[in-house]
Structure 1
């Protein structure tokens, strides 16, 4: 996504969501059908959509990786809005480590977004996605970070069975944003706004994630 032409200082970091949006193998794809169309029988267009809540930019709930965890609608909104830092760690392999981001995180704000690709993969499932090293997650939690975001579909590699970084997030009470698009965003500090829907039984929620330049 690029900087908004008509709103200076506003960055849209959400990928488009449509029928071709990639999903984790086995997850429900995006589907839409019209239940009413403007015409003889209706004065409005109305559609029905179904999808995995992990399609597109989304916030994970603890319920996603903890059988007793909270659903997304029960989470406080504060971690999803406020000062954040975008850090570049391009093509660092399966897991981003502290050495890849140390240049920008000596004193991190409460929210950190990590760019791992020159161009985010938004048109297909990326089996070679980059996640975060569990030790890095632990270190950022120790530094007071409350939310981690990434421009891939998961903070753990696609073939991970242990979900070790998700488990650190669970233990430390962090929040997670995945599938962001940070292609055009320079490293630096911004305001993040990425509010999940109040879905009271869901393991995740789509978000419309944006960054605003700090005044």
Structure 2
């Protein structure tokens, strides 16, 4: 059996979220008992909770919802980069030493431990890094922080570079135990036909 790394954080009522986003909650709509053979539940949550895939709709009104995007970018060879302690923006020079032969998917570990509580102090992508990776044929980028843009950004420059280059993105990954190197990524979003994002159960499998 090839080794698998689960790179998804747990989803729970105390999961870290942008302020104002909808937390996870669950209620039971049926319980096993006389006349009922099953437990059933209903959940409410932001689609940006835990490891998730943003849809182009998240940052452009006339763009596709997550259920309309191709699954191809979310499945296949990827490379994990470590840029821990390099500052608040992931820049091309941080990735350049290990970029030769890069596959179509790039995941970046920026912190020693993935955050479990909300904080504005997280690393994100410089917009020029998105453009540069696109010229190399990259189709998906991922990061172990809450966003590819700084928490204080009102213009979402890196998100809009994703849109301009038709790249997909994964956020809130857990790469704490994953060595830098090449893997197979499996992180399929749900076919939510109206949603601006989808939670994913993201895993890496050794090649």
For the structure 1 residues 31 and 164, does the alpha-carbon distance in structure 2 shift closer, same or farther, using more than 3 Å as the test? same
Counterpart mapping for 1:1-215 below 5 A: 8-121=2-115, 123-214=116-207
- Per the alignment, residue 3 of structure 1 pairs with none
* Counterparts of 2:76 and 2:18, CA distance in 1: 29
Runs of 4+ in 1 over 3 A off after TM superposition: none
* Counterparts of 1:199 and 1:124, CA distance in 2: 27
User: Any conservation in 2 of the 1:107–1:143 contact (CA below 8 Å)?
Assistant: no
Deviation digits for residues 148-188 of structure 1 (CA, Å, limit 9, x no counterpart): 00001100011111100001000000000000000000000
SS of alignment partner, residue 140 of structure 1 = helix
- Given the two structures, how large is their TM-score scaled by the length of structure 2? 0.97
SS of alignment partner, residue 46 of structure 2 = coil
* Counterparts of 1:112 and 1:69, CA distance in 2: 23
- Given the two structures, how large is their TM-score scaled by the length of structure 1? 0.94
How many residues align? The count is 207
Deviation digits for residues 14-69 of structure 1 (CA, Å, limit 9, x no counterpart): 00101111111111100101111112252111110010000000000000001111
* Counterparts of 1:91 and 1:204, CA distance in 2: 29
* Counterparts of 1:67 and 1:189, CA distance in 2: 35
> Any stretches of 5+ residues in structure 2 without a counterpart?
none
* C-alpha RMSD of matched pairs (Å): 1.0
